Amino acid sequence: MARPIRVEFPGAVYHVMARGNERRAIFRDDQDRRRFLHTVEQTVERFGLRVHAFCLMPNHYHLLVGTPRANLSQALGWLQVTYTVRFNRRHRRSGHLFQGRFKAQLVEADGYAQWLVEYLHLNPVRPRRKEELIAAERAAELDAYPWSSHGDYAGLRRAPTKWLCLDWLRYWGADRVAARRGYRQRIAAAFAAGRLKSPWEQVRGGLVLGGDELRRRVAQVIGRKSGLEEAAWTKAENQQRAQERLNELLAMEADDRVQLWALVRLTNRRQAELARVYGYRDGSGVAYAIRSVEAESARNEQTAAKLSRLKDEIYRL
């Protein structure tokens, strides 16, 4: 199994998730859950983490974590090893508890904090099948669920979680009262709608949930490493950026032949696939259009310059 890429820098924010080995339970009862949260509290104190949200499920956990000290691997490694030792001692077992290393996705808080917190908190009541709707009658069940930070955000918990950082409440309102009201309204809206779209669909390369600035910073950090996984990620990210830039350029191009030439020659799109999109019967029509514009570029300086600019722009990326 390929090792996960770790990108660490001061102030980074992550969505962290780890499953039980062979998808088995990592919490057998409430005492295990309390012990895990106590271990999280110790991790916060020892490593200076900021835990913005959490949710415990039977065979996995979710954390939204900030790392002022750029020490995610050290901190989460300690958390999982320490909890595993405690779990094994209590249940008289040995061996791995978690399935490999934890997963960590870098997150742009300003753009995704609300979405992530709400989606994470809805885990206990979300159907296993993605196409099914969240049952409206399960709203009370969510409010009663004690093993996530939902109660802290909604203002339902009698004794607030001391080690939980609630700075992100500001995304729902200007003050704490308004923010909690706004949060509860958003959760109620998810039940009314029946589903909340998954933020994981927007994760880039399995690693980044954010905009261009965060992606550039991640690319800079990864670019200084020489591992095979880092090289593969960099290649895939550059290809994605090139495709996005090409889409921007072709949106302003009226000549279908130029569009087809760029998609086939610069990004290796299949001609048969493009034939359906551009209204040709099969790939031979696309091939003819490409040959036509290439022939034109040999005698027309304007067309030649257009193709050259597209090529230079994409190859630079």
Read off the pLDDT of residues 170-191 as tens digits, 9 standing for 90 and up: 999 999 999 999 999 999 999 9
Q: Which pLDDT belongs to residue 229? A: 47
Is residue 260 within 8 Å of residue 288, measured between CB atoms?
no
| Cα angle value 70/17/123 (rounded, 5°) | 130
In terms of Cα–Cα distance, which of 152, 199, 139, 157 is closest to 179? 152
Q: Where in the chain is the domain with CATH 3.30.70.1290?
A: 12-212
Is residue 152 within 8 Å of residue 180, measured between CB atoms?
no
The token duo for 152 is: 């802290």
pLDDT, tens digit, for every residue of 18-69?
999 988 999 999 999 999 999 999 999 999 999 999 999 999 999 999 999 9
Provide the CATH number for the domain formed by 12-212 in this structure.
3.30.70.1290
Q: What global pTM score does this model have?
A: 0.73
Up-side HSE of residue 239: CA atoms within 13 Å toward CB? 12
Kindly state the helix (H) or strand (E) to which residue 52 belongs, with its residue range: strand 50-57
249 burial type by CB count under 10 A (0-12 exposed, 13-18 middle, 19+ buried): middle
In terms of Cα–Cα distance, which of 129, 136, 132, 177 is closest to 155? 177
Kindly compute the dihedral angle of the four CA atoms of residues 272, 273, 279, 283, in this order, to the nearest 10 degrees.
Answer: -10
- Count of other CB atoms within 10 angstroms of residue 22: 8
